[in-house]
Amino acid sequence: MSALKTGTRGQGLVLRVLPAGMYAGRARMLVERSMLVNRKMWLVIASGFFEPLFYLLAFQVGFGRLVETVPGPGGQLMSYVAFVAPGLLASSAMNGAVYDSTFNIFFKFRYQKLYDAMLATPLGPFDVAIGEISWALLRGGLYAAAFFGVMLGMGLVFSVWAVLLVPAALLVAFAFAAVGMAATTWIRSTTDFGLIQLAVIPMFLFSTTFFPLSVFPPALQVMVQCFPLYHGVELMRGLSTGVVDSGMLGHVGYLAALAVIGLLVATRRLGTLLLR
């Protein structure tokens, strides 16, 4: 009963903060719809897990044989495959969230006119944003848990702190899903998706996923440290090796702030475009 009262009080607070018509407390309906739509597309959903797995296996049997050790968190030497694995987990969370919150939402928004129909019901723009991002998090959580199991099986986890890798992956997915959804509201046609790839691919390649930050010139190091994926990779790499310090809070704060800003911008844009 107390939990119910707490939930009702929290929902009432959101209703008071947001303008009328923006939130009805029914975001779960979008999650339920996504589950029903995707229940016969399990192969498409499962395919998102295999891309980072193939990368990991390729590095273990290929490039990992050429580069035996690299400096990891705290300067300690570690195998190249163990160095890359947390970065691939963070990249997998990013890619899954970006795909769900850009391509899928764009077609629902521009072509299916799904959100126009939803807003004719008691649902509001904040319900839509929360519901779609929640589905992206559920999907990303499945990928993260499965990839974490692979890391355990391959002996690439060295600390009890690694149990936080899946929650960290959800935080990364939350940040990119919120920003991706906000960015999608400005996309006018499918040709604009090239701009999203122009942002995602450099982050994947240069956010210390495959090599340490120290290999970059000082000026580029500052630029790389501005990438959201860099903070996700460093957070996960520290957790997997057990090198945990106060700098972790900076990574968490950066990603959390990005998630909140993206969610607020996405909600405002949806309200502007669909309620005008």
pLDDT digits (tens, 9 = 90+) for 53-82: 777 777 776 666 677 778 888 778 888 888
Least confident interval from 17-21, 223-227, 237-241, 262-266: 17-21
Count of alpha carbons within 13 angstroms of residue 20, beta-carbon side:
0
**pTM of the predicted protein model:** 0.83
pLDDT-derived band at 188 (thresholds 50, 70, 90) equals confident
Whether the Cβ atoms of residue 93 and residue 176 lie closer than 8 Å to each other: yes
pLDDT-derived band at 249 (thresholds 50, 70, 90) equals very high
Whether the Cβ atoms of residue 172 and residue 74 lie closer than 8 Å to each other: no
pLDDT of residue 253: 96
Centroid of chain to Cα 259: 9
Q: DSSP secondary-structure letter at 25?
A: S
Helix axes 125-153, 42-58, angle to 10 degrees: 40
* Runs of H (alpha helix) within the chain: 2-17, 28-38, 42-58, 64-66, 80-99, 105-110, 114-118, 125-153, 165-184, 193-206, 218-224, 228-241, 247-274
